[in-house]
Amino acid sequence: MKVEVLRIGHRSVRDDRITTHAALVSRAFGSDKIYMTEVDNSIKETLGEIAKRWGGKYDFAIEIIEDWRRVVKNWKKEGGKVVLLTMYGINIDDTISQVQKKNKVLVIIGAEKVPRETYDLADYNVAIGNQPHSEIAALAIFLDRIFSGKQLKKDFSGAKLKIIPMGKGKMVKEIDNNNSNI
Ligand SMILES: C[S@@+](CC[C@H](N)C(=O)[O-])C[C@H]1O[C@@H](n2cnc3c(N)ncnc32)[C@H](O)[C@@H]1O
Question: What integer pLDDT is reported at residue 179 of this predicted model?
Answer: 54
Atom of ligand 1 nearest to the CA of 8: 27
95 lines ligand 1 (CB under 6 A): no
Pick the residue whose CA is nearest to atom 7 on ligand 1.
113
Question: What integer pLDDT is reported at residue 176 of this predicted model?
Answer: 82
> Model confidence over 22-77: pLDDT tens digits?
999 999 999 999 999 988 889 999 999 999 999 998 899 999 999 999 999 999 99
Q: C-alpha dihedral over 49, 60, 27, 156, to 10 degrees?
A: -80
118 lines ligand 1 (CB under 6 A): no
| Lowest-pLDDT range of 8-12, 128-132, 167-171, 177-181 | 177-181
pLDDT band at 5 (very low <50, low <70, confident <90, very high): very high
State yes or no: pLDDT of 182 exceeds 70. Answer: no
Question: What integer pLDDT is reported at residue 13 of this predicted model?
Answer: 76
Question: What integer pLDDT is reported at residue 39 of this predicted model?
Answer: 83
State yes or no: pLDDT of 2 exceeds 70. Answer: yes
Pick the residue whose CA is nearest to atom 5 on ligand 1.
113
**Residue 35, number of CB atoms within 10 A of its CB:** 21
Average pLDDT value for the chain:
93
Centre of ligand 1 to C-alpha 30, Å, is: 21
Atom of ligand 1 nearest to the CA of 109: 25
115 lines ligand 1 (CB under 6 A): no
149 lines ligand 1 (CB under 6 A): no
State yes or no: pLDDT of 91 exceeds 60. Answer: yes
> Model confidence over 149-165: pLDDT tens digits?
999 999 999 999 999 99
Using CA atoms, how far apart are residues 64 and 51, in angstroms rounded to an integer?
Answer: 18
CB burial of residue 105 (10 Å; 0-12, 13-18, 19+): buried
Centre of ligand 1 to C-alpha 134, Å, is: 6
Pick the residue whose CA is nearest to atom 26 on ligand 1.
110
Sign of CA dihedral 138, 86, 90, 88: positive
Bigger pLDDT: 84 vs 179: 84
Atom of ligand 1 nearest to the CA of 113: 8
Per 3-state DSSP, the chain is made up of helix, strand and coil in percentages (nearest 5) of 35, 25, 40
Using CA atoms, how far apart are residues 23 and 6, in angstroms rounded to an integer?
Answer: 10
- Whole-model pTM: value is 0.93
